[in-house]
Amino acid sequence: MYSFYRFMVLNLSSHCKNLTVSLRYIGSVQKVKRHVLRTRRDENPVLLYSTRATNLCLSRSPHCHSSTGPMDDINRVKRVSIEGNIAVGKSTFAQLLQFAGQDWEVVPEPVGKWQSIESGSSQQKVSNLLDMMYQDPQRWSYTFQTNSCMSRMRTQLQPPPARLLRAKGIPVQVFERSVYSDRYVFALNMFELGCINSTEWAVYQDWHSFLVEQFGRQVELEGIIYLRAPPQKCMERLGQRGRVEEKGVQLDYLEKLHTQHERWLINKSTKLHFERLTWVPVLVLDASLEFEEDPKVRAEFITQVKDFFSGL
């Protein structure tokens, strides 16, 4: 987590017209300078992007007034998250979207990273934090939430690929879950279950708010797709999938997570701390429908998603 606190923001006037480029870099000043020089020499907006991919990011700066250029391309890209209970079918649905829309890019949940925590120096696998969290939630939930949220931050800060910048239609980056479900579904649930104590919860909320506010527009969402299904249906699919770490997951846990999703996205009774999140439009889809086998259901879902995206 600490590297997040070391981020710095540089504003510099690029030699491209009026463009003001805001660079955020997580790391050392020397590295920032090197990247800045490379960026300043480069006239090509797409190359600016690929530079951002190596931790340097071109933000959606409010100071940018250029009428045509890379900032307009970035600002055109909508960001949407898919939310829903464990095994409701988010990855399956995300794949469907990836095939359906050339202008859409799906960014998967970084579950592999949680299953394989790497040593900072040698990059060798140290542990499986997902498994540790399920085995001993009291001990590992706070650690898990710091890791899951940090990896989601990185995911949400990922630049859209160049293909999306050239899109003729509405380009959309679709994230599997978000820093918001991390807090308002999972971490909150762990706190209410007593697996995160009140000190840990206070600390989590403090750094979560700080980071979300600091990254500002870069981690905002324009829309949310909520895949909704009864917890019993998720339980069946969870069993079908057979992920080893989840073998001890009980229906009771999925019911609690279902309630958290409902409070946040349907009843709107969860207390949120980010003004804009309160107003983000939510598309609710009935995920109990077996769309994998039914082309009609798939087509209906895609139509609804297209309509939703065009209204964002």
Ligand X SMILES: Nc1nc(=O)c2ncn([C@H]3C[C@H](O)[C@@H](CO)O3)c2[nH]1
Ligand Y SMILES: Nc1ncnc2c1ncn2[C@@H]1O[C@H](COP(=O)(O)OP(=O)(O)OP(=O)(O)O)[C@@H](O)[C@H]1O
Q: Provide the annotated active-site residues.
A: 176
At 290, the amino acid letter reads E
**What would the x/- binding string for ligand X be over residues 69 to 88, using CB under 6 A?**
-----------------x--
Binders of ligand Y among 152-211, rule CB under 6 A? none
Is residue 308 involved in binding ligand X (CB under 6 A)? Answer: no
Q: How far apart are CA 250 and CA 253, in angstroms?
A: 6
Query: Tokens standing for 126?
Result: 């140290």
Residue (80 or 187) nearer to ligand X, CB: 187
Is residue 291 involved in binding ligand Y (CB under 6 A)? Answer: yes
At 229, the amino acid letter reads A
Candidates 68, 66, 48; CA nearest to 58 is 48
Of the candidate spans 121-129, 144-152, 234-242, 266-274, the one that interacts with ligand Y by CB under 6 A turns out to be 234-242
- The Cβ of residue 64 has, within 10 Å, a number of other Cβ atoms equal to 21
**What would the x/- binding string for ligand Y be over residues 100 to 129, using CB under 6 A?**
---------x--------------------
8 Å CB contact between 242 and 235: no
Q: Choose among ligand Y, ligand X, none what residue 186 binds, the Cβ cut-off being 5 to 8 Å by kind.
A: ligand X
* Distance in Å, CB of 176 to ligand X, minimum: 8
Q: How far apart are CA 228 and CA 120, in angstroms?
A: 38
* Distance in Å, CB of 157 to ligand X, minimum: 17
Q: How many CA atoms lie within 13 A of 11 on its CB side?
A: 8
Is residue 229 involved in binding ligand X (CB under 6 A)? Answer: no
Of the candidate spans 6-14, 65-73, 81-89, 185-193, the one that interacts with ligand Y by CB under 6 A turns out to be 81-89
**What would the x/- binding string for ligand Y be over residues 257 to 286, using CB under 6 A?**
------------------------------
DSSP annotation of 53 reads: T
8 Å CB contact between 229 and 287: yes
Q: Which of 130, 150, 211, 305 binds ligand X (CB under 6 A)?
A: 130
Is residue 39 involved in binding ligand X (CB under 6 A)? Answer: no
Q: Choose among ligand X, ligand Y, none what residue 88 binds, the Cβ cut-off being 5 to 8 Å by kind.
A: ligand Y
* Distance in Å, CB of 148 to ligand X, minimum: 4
- Residues near 47 by beta carbon (within 8 Å), at least 6 away in sequence: none
Is residue 240 involved in binding ligand Y (CB under 6 A)? Answer: yes
In three-state secondary structure terms, 175 is: strand
**What would the x/- binding string for ligand X be over residues 132 to 151, using CB under 6 A?**
-x----------xx--x---
Residue (61 or 146) nearer to ligand X, CB: 146
Q: How far apart are CA 236 and CA 10, in angstroms?
A: 50
Total binding residues for ligand X by CB under 6 A?
12
Kindly write down the DSSP assignment for every residue of 75-144, as one continuous string.
HH-EEEEEEESTTSSHHHHHHHHHHH-TTEEEE---HHHHHSEE-TTT--EEE-HHHHHHH-HHHHHHHH
Candidates 221, 137, 145; CA nearest to 178 is 221
Residue (186 or 204) nearer to ligand Y, CB: 186
Q: Applying CB under 6 A, which residues contact ligand Y?
A: 84, 86-92, 109, 237, 240-241, 287, 290-292
Q: Which residues bind ligand X (CB under 6 A)?
A: 86, 109, 111, 130, 133, 144-145, 148, 182, 186, 190, 246
